[in-house]
Amino acid sequence: MTEGKNLQPILSVENLKKYFQTSRGSLHAVDNVSFEIQEGQTLGVVGESGCGKTTTGRTILRLIEPTSGTIRFDNIDINNLPKNDLRLIRSKMQIIFQDPYSSLDPRKTVAATISEPLVIHKRVANKRELRERVLALMEMVELEERLYSAYPHELDGGRRQRIGIARALALEPKFIVCDEPVSSLDVSVQAQIINLMQDLQDKLKLTYMFVTHDMAVVKHISDEIAVMYLGQIIERAPAKELFEHQIHPYTRALIAAIPKMGANLGDLTGTLKGEIGSPIEPKPGCRFAPRCDYCQESCTRADPPLQDLGAGRYVACWRASEI
Amino acid sequence: MTDNTLLSINNLTTHYVTDEAIIHAVNRINLELKTGESLGLVGESGAGKSTTAYSIMGILPKLTGKIVQGEILFQGKDLTRTSEEQMRSIRGSQISMIFQDPMTSLNPILPVGDQIAEVLEIHGTGNRKEAMEKAGNMLEMVGIPKDRMHEYQHQFSGGMKQRVIIAIALACNPQLLIADEPTTALDVTIQAQVLKMIKDLRMRLGTSLILISHNLSVVAQLCENVAILYAGHIVEYGPLRDVFSNPFHPYTEGLLNCIPRIDVDKKRLSPIRGMMPDPSLVYEGCVFKPRCPYAEDICGLVTPGISEPAGRKVMCLMYQDLMPNKMSIDKAKGKIND
């Protein structure tokens, strides 16, 4: 999917930070994150709960205002954009949410939900045109025409997620943040939605940022993967290479922890010790140090930078060259 | 039925009866669990996995849930004909169950140690002091320091809560543990810790296990045998390695083909077409027919019985000589596989 395309980043994020103020101090949800996504590609963002993957996605769309950092989309610095201009850019950047049960308005029909962005952004001249556009979008996501006036409660999870996708596509975006879009679906339906998303990407030249905790799904759908731990990207690599060879000890443990179908009874080696630390007022130094087998005193002095190792691989570990 | 059979479910049918409809949740299923065995129940939402567990535990919703026919023999005793009072003495001491969501399973206003001790006291294992001491030991056994027994659930993380729940479930050393999606709400590294712990404890205590999960890989870690459920029917049942490496039922094959895998590269997933049938309707023929790539007209007319090819139980007409076995023909031609 990646070869032969004119690669240029459609999105580039530099030193993005989002700190939330809590009664116990500043919570570093996203802490100095930088990456870019090439047009037409999928960046998978993985990590466990609390690693900041969802906040990163929402901050990029400015659904959450970043604390600092630059976000350039199509060469426009959207972090300093006034609200009005932001609205124009937003039509090019959309989001698909995890839970198709709570992300749809239960009082709106399928047609009303899909047409809302078209009406708000005045993309249609009259009702007839609106109906045609909605029907075309429904066809694109393979929703039956008879469901035009149905309500979300009449539909199963897979169809609801199709509505979410149709709504996200209504304004012809270039970039979509997909926040756990298949996590609440059964596997047979999950496969239908993943295939649909891949087909739409090819057809409409979409760029995805695919946020998930499911390593098998992310491996399947991504060109490149960024692994997050406590608000930071600790490793980034082309998808295939990452699964073949992990450099960061956390990535290694994360991939080792995934139960594999072929593995022997209880073949769970390399179980990671301890639990994820607190993102509130984190101490300087590597965030993973307390759980890391390779940790040295020097690891806790300063945050390891995300170093470029060439061939599309990046890692944030002080001891990357030794281990 | 051999001597070391712990649980034997025969022809179990469970319905949920509401004013609008009868939900056929579990339909004439047969299962057998030997002492020390681990069995996985696998299927998608609505397959009847949890209803099977609730039927065994006798905790079906009182107003709607109904065991319509069949028997559940636990150590030879039919649980479907056991009084609620007797069931109460079995639950927690001989059969325990752990649920999916560790966030809502514990009592928020009772220290965790007391919650473990409570089970021991109810089932008459010694006095309060002994119960508290044993509770401390149970916590240590699941990897939580004893001195945290006076803390409350909100002071524990999700993985720790699930450990406490496992300690409660195993406190009376039950013969059978039913785990309903025990790691689904946990992060993958914590899931690995909990799965490893369940496995180690089972080895140590000899507890038999029924593990319910939608995640085939999780079941592969802990179970020797597996039953694949679809729309309230067990469509395939046998040794896990055999079933996963060479599925006989078209649904099992579909399930294995549609999941993205870490250990296998797939260019494109092969979804199972269509959706689960409406459980309030009764179907003529095979329930999987509308979604089955091998179906023929006869599948809509004849309800398949259970055949036993190669030591497995399969519910499909292809194994009853009523139609050609296209699955094995395709496999022979090497068409299956991505």
Locate B27 and state its tokens: 């339909």
Chains A, B: CB pairs < 8 Å: 121
- DSSP letters, B300-319, are GTS----B-GGG-EE--GGG
Query: Are the C-beta atoms of A253 and A48 separated by less than 8 Å?
Result: no
Q: Mapped to the 3 state alphabet, what secondary structure does A48-111 carry? A: CCCCCHHHHHHHHCCCCCCCEEEEEECCEEHHHCCHHHHHHHHCCEEEECCCCCCCCCCCCCHH
Separation in Å, CA of B132 to nearest CA in chain A: 26
* Per-residue pLDDT at A3 exceeds 80: no
Locate A96 and state its tokens: 């698909």
* CA distance to A79, A229, A286, B102, per residue, from A29 (Å): 18, 10, 15, 24
A contacts of B217 (beta carbons < 8 Å): 258-261, 263
| Dist. CA B4–CA B305, nearest whole Å | 27
The pLDDT-based confidence of A4 (bands split at 50, 70, 90) is very low
Cβ under 8 Å to B: A residues 189-218: 189-192, 194-195, 198, 213, 215-217
At which residue do the structure tokens 């999700």 appear?
B158
Query: Among A49, A194, A263, whose Cβ lies nearest the Cβ of B221?
Result: A263
Find the mean pLDDT for residues A212-241.
96
pLDDT confidence of residue B145: 92
* Per-residue pLDDT at A267 exceeds 60: no
* Per-residue pLDDT at A2 exceeds 90: no
Do B199 and A268 lie within an 8 Å CB cutoff? yes
Do B254 and A187 lie within an 8 Å CB cutoff? no
pLDDT confidence of residue A268: 58
The pLDDT-based confidence of A5 (bands split at 50, 70, 90) is very low
Contacts of A321 (CB under 8 A, 6+ apart): none
Q: B110-132, pLDDT tens digit by residue?
A: 999 999 999 999 997 778 999 99
| Dist. CA B267–CA B213, nearest whole Å | 26
Give the predicted TM-score (pTM) of the model.
0.89
CA quadruple B276, B263, A241, A286: dihedral positive or negative?
A: positive
Q: B240-292, pLDDT tens digit by residue?
A: 999 999 999 999 999 999 999 888 888 899 999 888 888 998 888 999 999 99
Query: Among B187, B215, B263, whose Cβ lies nearest the Cβ of A49?
Result: B187
Q: Does B292 touch chain A (CB under 8 A)?
A: no
A contacts of B190 (beta carbons < 8 Å): 48, 275
The C-alpha R_g of chain A, in whole angstroms, comes to 21
| Dist. CA B31–CA B287, nearest whole Å | 19
Query: Among B159, B160, B221, whose Cβ lies nearest the Cβ of A266?
Result: B221
Alpha-helix runs per DSSP H in B97-237: 102-105, 112-122, 128-141, 158-170, 188-205, 216-222
Query: Among B260, B268, B276, whose Cβ lies nearest the Cβ of A217?
Result: B260
Best B183, B188, B217 member to test A by mutation, with max A CBs in 10 Å, is B188
Q: Does A259 touch chain B (CB under 8 A)?
A: yes
Phi, psi at B215, each rounded to 5°: -95, 110
Check residues A8 and B166 and name the one with the higher pLDDT. B166
